[in-house]
Chains A and B, each alone.
Chain A
Amino acid sequence: MIEFTVNGERRELVEASPSMPLLWVLRDHLKLTGTKFGCGMGLCGACTVHLDGVAVRSCQLPVAAVAGHHITTIEGLSPTEQHPLQLAWVAEDVPQCGYCQSGQIMSAAALLNTGAAVNDDSIRNAMSGNVCRCGTYGRINKAIKRAASAPKEA
Chain B
Amino acid sequence: MTNLSRRLFLKQSATVTAGLAISFHLPSGIAATPGDFEPNAWVRVLPDGTVKLVVHKHDSGTGTQTALAACVAEELDVNPMTVQVITPENPFFEAYIHPVWKVFSTGGSTSVSLEYDRLRMAGATARVLLIAAAAKQWKVSPDSCTTEDGHVLHGASKRSLGYGELVTVAAHLPAPAKVTLKDPAQFKYIGKLRHKRDAAAKVCGRFKYSIDVLLPEMLVAVIQRSPVIGAKVLSVDSIAALQVPGVRKVIAIPGRPDVLGGNLEGVAVLADNYWAAHQGRAVLNVQWSESPLAGFDSDELAKAQIAALDDKTAQRITAMTAGDVSAQWPNAAKLLEADYRMPYKVQNPLEPICITAHIKGNGITYWGGVQVPSSALEAAETVCKIAKDKVTINELVSGGSFGARESKYWLFEVAYLAQQAKVPVKLMNSREDEMRALFMHPATLHRAKGALDAEGRLTALQLNAVSPASPEQWEPGYFERPDKMDYSTTEAITAWDFAYRAPHLDLAWVKHESNVPSGWYRSVSFIPNVFAVESFMDELAHGAGQDPLAFRLANMKDRPRHVAVLKSAAERAGWGQSLPEGTALGIATNQGYTSFIAIVARVSKQDGVTKVDKLTCVVDCGLAVSPGGVEEQIYGGLMWGFGHALFDRLDIKQGRVVQSNFHEYRVTRMSDMPATDILVLDGEPSKPGGVGELGSPSVAPAIANALFSLTGVRQRSTPLTLG
Contact = CB atoms under 8 A, between A and B. Distances in A.
Contacts of A81: 200, 203-204, 206
B62 interface: yes
Interface stretch (A50-58, A97-105, A110-118): A97-105
Interface stretch (B543-551, B587-595, B632-640): B632-640
A130 B670 CA distance: 8
Given A39-B661, A136-B632, A138-B676, A28 B350 contact: no
B670 A137 contact: yes
Interface string B634-671: 01111110000000000000000000011100010111
B211 A37 contact: yes
Nearest to B667: A131
B671 A24 contact: no
A148 interface: no
A40 B431 contact: yes
A139 B639 CA distance: 13
B203 A17 contact: no
A71 interface: no
Interface in B183-213: 194-196, 198-200, 202-209, 211-212
A38 B550 CA distance: 46
Interface in A109-146: 123-125, 127-141
B500 interface: no
B670 A141 contact: yes
A3 B282 CA distance: 28
Interface string B201-235: 01111111101101000000000000000000000
Contacts of A35: 205
A13 interface: no
A128 B400 CA distance: 19
Contacts of B60: 97
B527 to A, nearest CB: 16
A123 B670 CA distance: 9
A99 B214 CA distance: 17
Nearest to A28: B273
Contact of A86 (B204, B278, B400, B432): B204
A24 B198 contact: no
Contacts of B274: 24, 27-28, 37
How many chain B residues sit at the interface, stated as a range, is 35 or more
Contacts of B670: 123-124, 127-128, 130, 132, 137, 140-141
Contacts of B206: 34, 75, 81
Contacts of A28: 273-275
Interface string A63-102: 0000000000111011001000110011001111111111
B636 A74 contact: no
B513 interface: no
A101 B212 CA distance: 15
Contact of A134 (B194, B400, B671): B400
Contacts of A96: 61-63, 400, 632, 636
B671 A128 contact: yes
Contacts of A33: 205, 208, 211-212, 214
Given A28-B275, A36-B351, A40-B431, A74 B671 contact: no
Interface in B521-549: none
A14 to B, nearest CB: 13
Interface residues on A, range: 35 or more
B430 interface: yes
B397 interface: yes
A144 B636 CA distance: 19
Contact of A38 (B275, B350, B398, B628): B350
Contacts of A6: none
B482 to A, nearest CB: 39
Nearest to A124: B671
Nearest to B354: A37
B509 interface: no
A135 B636 contact: yes
Given A97-B61, A138-B635, A43 B663 contact: yes
Interface string B397-429: 111101000000000000000000000000000
A32 interface: yes
A97 B204 contact: no
B352 interface: yes
Nearest to A105: B203
A98 B349 CA distance: 11
Contact of B199 (A44, A89, A129, A141): A89
**Taking each of B204, B278, B349, B661, which has the highest tally of chain A beta carbons within 10 Å of its own beta carbon?**
B204
Given A90-B199, A95-B199, A128-B669, A39 B662 contact: yes
Among the interface residues B350, B632, B639, B673, which one has the most CB atoms of the partner chain A within 10 A? B350
B396 to A, nearest CB: 11
Contacts of B209: 36, 99
Contact of A21 (B62, B245, B275, B663): B275
A150 interface: no
A99 B400 contact: yes
Contact of B214 (A31, A97, A102): A31
B276 to A, nearest CB: 9
A131 B662 contact: yes
Contact of A95 (B202, B661, B663, B669): B202
Contacts of A27: 274
Nearest to A90: B199
Interface in B610-642: 628, 632, 635-640
B273 to A, nearest CB: 4
A132 B245 contact: no
A19 to B, nearest CB: 9
Contacts of A34: 204-206
Interface string B573-609: 0000000000000000000000000000000000000
A68 to B, nearest CB: 22
B66 to A, nearest CB: 10
A100 B635 CA distance: 17
B348 interface: yes
User: Nearest 6 CB-CB pairs, A to B?
Assistant: A34-B205, A97-B61, A99-B399, A135-B636, A98-B202, A74-B205
5 contacts: A33-B208, A36-B209, A43-B663, A131-B667, A135-B637
Given A40-B432, A86-B203, 14 more contacts: A20-B275, A33-B205, A37-B274, A41-B661, A44-B431, A44-B662, A77-B204, A81-B203, A81-B204, A81-B206, A96-B62, A101-B202, A134-B632, A138-B635
